[in-house]
Chains A and B, each alone.
Chain A
Amino acid sequence: MQYLKTAFAAAAATAIFAGAALAQGKPQEIKIGIATFLSGPASVFGVPAKAAAEMIAEDLNKKGGIGGVPVKLSFIDEGAGGEALVSNYRRIVQDDKVDATFAAISSGSCNQLVPVAEDLKVMNFMWDCGAASILETKKYRYNFRTQANGTPEMLAVLIYLLKTKPDFKTIAVVNQDYAWGRESWEIFSTALKAMKPDVQVVAELFPKFGAPDYSTEVSRLLALRPDVVLTTAWGGDLDTLVRQAGQRGLLQQSTFVLGIGESSIQRLGKDLPEGLIVGARGDHWFLHPEKKNDPAFKAFNEAFKAKTGAWPIYPVYHMAQAFTALQTAYDKAIKANDGNWPTREQVVDATAGTEFATGFGRPVTLRPEDNQGLEAQLVGVTKSFPGYDFKLLDNMMIFDPKVITNPAGVRSVEWLKTLKPEFAKMDVPTFKQ
């Protein structure tokens, strides 16, 4: 009897101890710091993404949060400029002690913040920036990219072009003059040279980022008459270019390829003609052919439209991916820790190699070798449909990320050089709108 009593007491003590440890370990809230553009031209991505983050967090907390803990968001402005961005990032990590950060949109910001995150040992999701080089040159522990990078994004667009317009002879490029504009052209042109060496590049134009006027560029292209014009511009720059080109008949004269045009479709409205090839930086489209009848997807899109007045664009889905990745990683870490609240390091361990699905597109895998996300790519062509006052995407192809992403450990450009013309003949499923 005495023995039993002792055992009971011991068990009770253990239970209390374990309970106490659990209660101690489980925090009041999970703090997430998000770097996004709230000012400057890139706020066309940052502001919708912020709205999405608030919507997702509210929804998540209504459902009990992550592992029973609500999330709390704080935002820092990428547009405030380098110094303010880094100081504010340090402040939210060191003073506010956020548990994870999502940073950032621009590759410039990522270049600045990724080493800081690594230094401060805080888990960071590069939720939207696309420069492939960041994860190719160094192996990070705390930094993950929860989406694809420029290589598969541009490759998908190129293969779509090669499949739908196989006999073009000349191409011109008009890209914004900064890393993305230059890098995306390097990726595109390297792959083009490897897969279709007979194409002639007739003009490489890199107008200043934020240039208000492309009239001269348009005149030059009208005079040159290239078969294809590629641009990976975005935001106001893309709108201006498309409108100035459209007004003067350039869009009708050459086949335009808008590398990341999905984010401008709604704004351009009637000014965007049919027949332009449009990429989406991932399989992001508010009428995603595989998901458009999914009630959760529809509900999210409609709620977003009700909140902001526009249908979601790709940064919105990228933001959702960061949240889902975080939730999946925490769930995995909690499970691995026998249901106890995991330490930060355990969460980081669990994040590597995670596969997660937002339900708004195909699932994404975080490749454990280099923490690069493998994300499917959707490319389509613009077409009018009744009921919408802007163009929709038609003849959409969805590309398998495993095929079009460079293998871990091989630098993008080196890998692209090895591609053969047959590579473009891969089978890709095509979807009507």
Chain B
Amino acid sequence: MNSTLAILAVLDGISYAALVFLVSVGLSLIFGVLRVVNVAHGSLYAFGAYLAATFSIKVAPLSPWLTYPALLAASIVIGVVCGGFIERVLLRPLYGRDDVLQLLITFAAFMIMDNLQRLIWGVQPIFAAEPLKLLPNVTVFGVNYTSYQVILLPAVAVATLFGLRYFLRRTLAGAVIMAVTEDREASTSIGIDARRVYFVTFIIGASLAALGGALASPTTSLVPGMGADMIVLSFAVAATAGLGQIEGAALTALMIGLTRAFVIYLQPEFEVLVPYLLMVLVLLVRPYGLFGATQMRKI
């Protein structure tokens, strides 16, 4: 493998990592605050993608540039409506109950959403590539890349990362969320409404999943079953990074993205194995993930 190919692989790895990060950071955030592994996260990703495609097909005839706000609008709608519903109706009655039940109820939500998606959008692949086509291609060593994939997606990912950091560290709402993450009981005792925090966090996390789907929608065919694959991948990223670790998720996504790209160039047979093998290896050495803090055992 020469240096040219290595640079190509890096570009491919970065654009892939950007999408993976967007989806997994939402999962990580929700776990960090609610201590719930949201299995329906992949379905939110799929719903975000489908709704974004529906919106952009609707607005494209008016002006193709309107498809960008359409992607954003779709992810917020899904985040608020679906995310809000899952938190308020399904998860809320279960706080304080067995963790398994919380996880399983999101599994039920996953099954239902997977089925609903088929009933709403049908089974034929849907494709809405306007946003991808609007931006010009860039050429690197004679190889074309879409600037949507190698510039826009990484830019959105970086913006999300810093936006989240700023929100959590510098704003009051963020500080409240961080407080609940650090110590749920103490923050409740000083008058923080944990339920409200849960609700808001879940919506943010769900919107990020939907945003990942919306941003992926111009590049890929939307098909039934697309959510089931995404959830394990983002789960692998979140777990490898350490659940709740936002910067960690970014680095891990980048690591997985780059490894995957190099593997496709060198040994394509092992592509699928990459994220899971990394996950096992990391978890064996550092059970709480690369960036996770060790937890005290409760007596």
Residues of A within 8 A of B (CB): 38-41, 43-44, 46-47, 204-208, 210, 212-213, 215-217, 219-220, 222-223, 235-237, 239-240, 243-244, 247-250, 267, 271
Contact = CB atoms under 8 A, between A and B. Distances in A.
A210 B216 CA distance: 14
Contacts of A47: 122-124
Nearest to B228: A210
Nearest to B125: A236
B224 A43 contact: yes
B225 A41 contact: yes
A212 B45 CA distance: 13
Nearest to B150: A215
20 contacts: A39-B224, A40-B225, A47-B123, A205-B268, A210-B225, A210-B229, A216-B9, A216-B264, A219-B8, A219-B9, A223-B4, A223-B5, A223-B142, A223-B143, A236-B223, A239-B127, A240-B220, A240-B221, A244-B219, A247-B146
A219 B149 CA distance: 12
A248 B137 contact: yes
A219 B223 contact: no
Given A39-B118, A247-B137, A216 B261 contact: yes
Nearest 3 pairs of A and B residues by beta carbon: A236-B223, A43-B123, A236-B221
B16 A216 contact: yes
B12 to A, nearest CB: 4
A236 B146 contact: no
Contacts of B125: 44, 235-236, 239-240, 267
Nearest to A177: B272
B123 A39 contact: yes
- Grouping DSSP codes into helix (H, G, I), strand (E, B) and loop, the A interface class, with mixed when no group exceeds half, is helix
Contacts of B221: 212, 235-237, 239-240, 243
A216 B265 contact: yes
Given A47-B122, A248-B144, A271-B129, 13 more contacts: A43-B123, A44-B125, A206-B269, A219-B143, A219-B145, A220-B8, A235-B223, A236-B222, A239-B125, A240-B219, A243-B221, A248-B143, A249-B144
A12 to B, nearest CB: 59
A115 B4 CA distance: 52
Interface residues of B, number: 46
A217 B268 CA distance: 9
B206 interface: no
Interface of B: 4-5, 8-9, 11-13, 15-16, 19, 118, 122-125, 127, 129, 132-133, 137, 141-146, 149, 216, 219-226, 229-230, 260-261, 264-265, 268-269, 271-272
Contacts of B143: 219, 222-223, 248
B101 to A, nearest CB: 25
Nearest to B122: A47
Nearest to A269: B127
Contacts of B12: 215-216, 219
A220 B271 contact: no
Nearest to B139: A249
Contact of A248 (B13, B127, B146, B225): B146
Give the most central of B141, B219, B221: most A CB within 10 Å. Answer: B221
Contacts of B122: 47
Nearest to B15: A215
Contacts of B8: 219-220, 223
Given A41-B223, A219-B143, A267-B124, A212 B133 contact: no
Given A216-B12, A223-B143, A248-B145, A210 B223 contact: yes
Contacts of A216: 9, 12-13, 16, 260-261, 264-265
B224 A247 contact: no
Contacts of A267: 124-125, 127
B271 A208 contact: yes
B4 A212 contact: no
A212 B141 CA distance: 25
A207 B271 contact: yes
Given A40-B225, A244-B219, A222 B118 contact: no
A220 B219 contact: no
Contact of A213 (B123, B137, B219): B219
A248 B137 CA distance: 7
Nearest to B2: A223
Nearest to A221: B143
Contacts of A215: 12, 15-16, 149, 219
Contacts of B223: 41, 210, 235-236
Contacts of B220: 212-213, 236, 240, 244
Nearest to B226: A212
Contacts of A217: 264, 268
Nearest to B265: A220
Contacts of B265: 216, 220
Contacts of A220: 5, 8, 264-265
Contacts of A212: 216, 220-221, 226, 229-230
B272 to A, nearest CB: 5
B1 to A, nearest CB: 11
Nearest to A235: B125
Contacts of A44: 123-125
Nearest to B133: A247
Nearest to B221: A236
A206 B15 CA distance: 21
Contacts of A239: 125, 127, 221
Contacts of B225: 40-41, 210
Contacts of B11: 219
Contacts of B269: 206
Contacts of A271: 127, 129
Contacts of B4: 223
Nearest to B140: A219
A243 B127 contact: yes
Contacts of A204: 268
